[in-house]
Structure 1
């Protein structure tokens, strides 16, 4: 579901309206509702949605700015969830764009991904350009492209033909967190074993180190990676036992009292 001109459904405070003043050929005007283009409009709208739907979010619905989805495990429950959502929308006089709403489907595109009962998949239309990309052939720019580069390039394109499906975390089973720490970047994968013991992917994360972080020793970069990943995956790690897999032991390093030196 999609909000109808979502930002315009938020009223401007009386004393702030004059701050949106603009001049036209017909005169000087200001907005009575929140216009598009304001620096904090997106955050303001998201905060309003959290305030209005906080008790339903991460349960019956998910809301990201003006995109809204109702998730249910059965058709009967779906109708109940929709009635509850529509009652809340009616209470606060919020409107939906009917041309962008779809109901009763088992899969759909959300925030650039395909979401279905199996999990979260990559929209193949989004990666079509990469899969059909040719190796660099620009003669005006100096490029080092050897057989090893071509091999990795082809492997990436091959993996994008059958990308992994991100599954949902199952309660009662431990999670497995893999960390990889390089000289200039960090990465992690959160997974979980299914009923037959096969590991399934839940989440991927990656980030470049800052100039300061690049100067850390290897073990400290690993600790830095663990802290950053733990903050990003807080909702998973608080509700599950998490097993850490890394080349070094950052937890032992973090918990040990550092020796004081002059």
Structure 2
């Protein structure tokens, strides 16, 4: 939070007047401001080796040997912008993790892949439109960077 904005986010209590030194998420535009900041500072990494959703970040590596390099790159960006992580919320080196309500892993689910392979061929314009709609709904689960 910038120094000139601290006075606007201050509050009084019996013990004295307090002001935030960092932006609290309860402020009206805090979420959007934070999202813009994260998108700007991690611009080169987002959709490559980082996924971000509001205040959740996932550093991903295609191969295990890249994991340390990807983490170091992320930590360097955080340090350069004087951002800190909550150690209690950090988990490193896991192959499977829940992220924003979804299970993220290296492997796909064979049952779902088999279902795609067993789909009947499209025979009409309506079938193609239906398929495009179904694939569009699934597109958020597909990695675009690899």
Q: Common fold, TM-score beyond 0.5? A: yes
Which residue is 2:39 aligned to? 50
Alignment of 1:102-113 (within 5 A): 102-113=91-102
Deviations, residues 4-41 of structure 1 (Å, cap 9, x unaligned): xxxxxxxx223322221312012233323212311111
Structure with larger Rg: 1
Structure 1 residue corresponding to 2:134, chosen from 189, 208, 219: 189
Aligned with 1:108: secondary structure? strand
Q: For 1:96 and 1:44, how far apart are their aligned partners in 2?
A: 18
Unaligned regions of 5+ residues in structure 1, if any?
Answer: 1-11, 121-161, 166-175, 181-187, 192-200, 205-235, 237-262
Deviations, residues 86-107 of structure 1 (Å, cap 9, x unaligned): 1222222221122221212111
Structure 2 residue corresponding to 1:39, chosen from 28, 35, 46: 28
Aligned with 2:94: secondary structure? coil
Alignment of 1:172-211 (within 5 A): 178=130, 188-190=133-135, 202-203=138-139
Q: For 2:76 and 2:129, how far apart are their aligned partners in 1?
A: 41
Q: For 1:94 and 1:28, how far apart are their aligned partners in 2?
A: 25
1:52, CA displacement in angstroms?
A: 0.6
Which residue is 2:56 aligned to? 67
Q: Please identify which structure carries the higher strand content.
A: 1
Contact 1:177 1:190 in 2 (8 A): no
Q: Does structure 1 residue 24 correspond to structure 2 residue 13? A: yes
TM-score, normalised to structure 1's length? 0.43
1:119, CA displacement in angstroms?
A: 4.3
Which residue is 1:149 aligned to? none
Distance 1:177 1:62, change over 3 A: farther
Q: For 1:81 and 1:21, how far apart are their aligned partners in 2?
A: 38
Distance 1:86 1:28, change over 3 A: closer
Which residue is 2:118 aligned to? none
**Deviating 4+ runs (over 4 angstroms):** none
